[in-house]
Structure 1
C-alpha cells in the first residue's frame, strides 16, 4: 500500500464539471456506461484512483483566475504541458478489480444506444489530417488573441450557438473540414488539365485555400469586407485583431467544499 493512499487529501479545483463527475453525477455516469460523458477514460481513471485510496479525499471549488496560488500554478503547468512537443505519459489505466464495463440495461434508452453505436463507428473512421490542422490553427489563434485554451469540443459546440445562423454554421463546418472544392482539391489525378487550372488564384497566382481566399487574396472585395467587419467590431469595445486561422506570432501554447 502506498503511503499517499492512507493520507487525507484536499483537492482544489476551479472545475465544477470535475467535481460533479466524481461526486454528484458519478453513479449516473457509471450506470450509463459513461456513454454520454466527455473524456470518459479520464473520469474512469480518476474515480478508480479515489476508490483505491484508504483515506478520505475532500474536494473544494475555487473561482478560477482569481489569484489563488495553487489554481494559478495549475494553469501555468497546464500551459507548459500543452506547449511540449512530446506529451507526458500519464498512467490513466484502471485496475481490473475497479473496472466497470458497459451500461446497465435498465438505464439504456434509444438515445444512449444510438450514441454508443455512433461512438464505436467514429473510432473506426480514418483521421482527417486537414481537419486536425485547421482545428490546431483555430485553437492557437484563440489562445493568442484571448488567452483562452479551447478544446476541439468547445470549438464544435461554439458552432452550434444560437447566435450563429445556419448558413454561417454550415460554411464554418465545411471550411474546417476542408470540404470545399478549392485549391489542390482540383489537382486530383482524375481531373482534366482545364479543371486543374482552377487550383490557382487568377489574381495572386498562388494555390488557393480557404485561408488565402478569406484573409490573404488581393482580389477586390476582400479588404472591403474586413473593413466593414472591423467597424462593426468596434461596437463590442473589445480590441480588434487581424482575422486569421493561424497565430500571428510564435507564442508557445501557452469556495465550496465536498468530500469523496
Structure 2
C-alpha cells in the first residue's frame, strides 16, 4: 500500500503540533495513512522532499538521544514514530523520482487548496501508545551543552519588559527605514555573527536586554542615585545617550573615524542610530544594480561592533577609573591611537584566521582581501595576497584622518 502526498489534502495536524507549516502536511499524511492502514500491510511513502525520510530514517537516533532538541515539528514526528512502531510490517520513505509521482504530488496540492477553501480539511489526531513513547535524552550521549539547553527548554518563556521594548523598537526601525521585515529570531542570531568578537557579542546581547549598569539601574541604590546621570551632559545616562548623544570626548571622534574608513568602500554613510547599532548584524548593502555586497556587510559589522565597544570601554574608564576627577577626559590623540590599535588588531586577526591550521574554521583569503580592500596603507605596493605577510607591513590607512582637523 502506498501512502501518497494526496493524503495531505484531506487532513492537517492540530495547531499545537505544528512549528513548521512547510513540512507539517507530509507528517499529517503519514500519520493519517499509518493509522488507516492495517498494521500487517507494508507502507511506502512517496514524499515531496527528503526531510521526512531523513528525520525518520537517518536522524531518528540522534533526535531521540537529544530528546528531539531543535527538531521542527518534534511533537508530530514523535507521534509518527510512535505509530510506526506499533506496526509489524515495514514502512519506507523516499522522495518522488519520476513524472507520474510528481503529477500525483501536484494533484495533492490542488486538492489541498480546494479543500482548504471549502473548509473540508479535517484534523488528524495521533493515536499513540505509552509503551512506545521514548522520552528524555540518552545518558550516554549527554553533554554539558546538551544538558544546559534541555534545562533551558523547560523554563517558561517569560519576557523581560525592557527586552521586549528594545527588540520591538529595533524591528520597527528596520521596517520603517529599509522596508525589510526582520524576525526577532534573526535579530538574536545576528548578534552571534562570526564577524563580531565574542566579548562584543556578549556586550551587544546585554544591550539588547537593557541589562548594562547605567542610568535607571543606579536610581534604586541608596546613596548612588547621582550615577544615573551623565556627568558631562547632566541627563539620564542611557545606552542610547552613550552611543549617539554624549558630548564627552571620544564618542564623536570615533564615529568620524568610522566614517572615514567606511567611505573607502564606496558606500553611503549616515551615522548609525541606537537601533542601527543593535541591528548591525542584519544590515544589507547592495550595488546600484541591487546585488548584495557580502564583504561590505562584513566590514560594516566589524566597524560598528568595534566602535561601540570602544566607546563603552572609554566611557567606563572615564566614569569608573577617574570618578574622582569629573573633568578628566581622553584626548583626541589618544582616541585616534586606540582606534588605530583596535582596527589593526582586528585586521591581523583576520589575517591569522586564513591559516590552514584552523581547518574548516579558517577564513577564505579572498573574503579577507575583499573586506579590507581600499582601507590599507600603501595598498598598491602590497602583493595581491597580503594575508601571509608580516603584521608590521599591513595596517589600515590613517592618513585621511588628518583631514578631520582641517575640516
Q: TM-score, normalised by structure 1?
A: 0.55
Which of 161, 166, 187 in structure 1 is aligned with 2:198?
Answer: 166
Distance 1:24 1:207, change over 3 A: same
Q: Answer yes or no: is 1:117 the counterpart of 2:147.
A: no
Is the contact between residue 64 and residue 134 of structure 2 (CA under 8 Å) also seen in structure 1?
no
Q: How does 1:245-256 map to 2 (within 5 A)?
A: 245-246=274-275
Partner residue of 2:222?
A: 191
Distance 1:119 1:230, change over 3 A: same
Give the Å deviation of 1:215. Answer: 1.1
Q: How does 1:221-236 map to 2 (within 5 A)?
A: 221-236=250-265
Q: 1:172 and 1:128 mapped to 2: Cα distance?
A: 16
Higher alpha-carbon Rg: 2
Q: 1:26 and 1:244 mapped to 2: Cα distance?
A: 47
Q: 1:147 and 1:105 mapped to 2: Cα distance?
A: 46
Which of 104, 109, 127 in structure 2 is aligned with 1:97?
Answer: 127
Instruction: After superposition, give the CA deviation of every residue in 1:172-230 in whole Å (9 maximum; x if it has no partner).
Output: 12222223221111110x421xx211212233332121011101223333222212112
Instruction: After superposition, give the CA deviation of every residue in 1:16-39 in whole Å (9 maximum; x if it has no partner).
Output: xxx67545335536535664316x
Partner residue of 1:209?
A: 238
Partner residue of 1:76?
A: none
Q: 2:176 and 2:271 mapped to 1: Cα distance?
A: 12
Is the contact between residue 182 and residue 198 of structure 1 (CA under 8 Å) also seen in structure 2?
yes
Is the contact between residue 48 and residue 95 of structure 1 (CA under 8 Å) also seen in structure 2?
no
| Corresponding residue pairs, total | 194
Partner residue of 2:55?
A: 25
Distance 1:105 1:219, change over 3 A: closer
Is the contact between residue 139 and residue 151 of structure 1 (CA under 8 Å) also seen in structure 2?
yes
Unaligned stretches of 5+ in structure 1? 14-18, 50-57, 60-92, 248-260
Q: 1:208 and 1:43 mapped to 2: Cα distance?
A: 45
Partner residue of 1:5?
A: 10
Q: 1:107 and 1:4 mapped to 2: Cα distance?
A: 41
The residue matched to 1:97 in structure 2 has which SS?
coil
Give the Å deviation of 1:5. Answer: 0.8
The residue matched to 1:24 in structure 2 has which SS?
helix
Q: TM-score, normalised by structure 2?
A: 0.38
Is the contact between residue 141 and residue 245 of structure 1 (CA under 8 Å) also seen in structure 2?
no
Unaligned stretches of 5+ in structure 2? 1-6, 12-20, 24-48, 81-94, 97-122, 277-407
Q: 1:102 and 1:22 mapped to 2: Cα distance?
A: 20
The residue matched to 2:274 in structure 1 has which SS?
coil
Distance 1:242 1:97, change over 3 A: farther
Query: Over aligned residue pairs, what C-alpha RMSD do you find?
Result: 4.4
Distance 1:234 1:197, change over 3 A: same
Give the Å deviation of 1:116. Answer: 1.4
The residue matched to 1:138 in structure 2 has which SS?
helix
Give the Å deviation of 1:145. Answer: 5.0
Q: 2:232 and 2:165 mapped to 1: Cα distance?
A: 26
Partner residue of 1:244?
A: 273
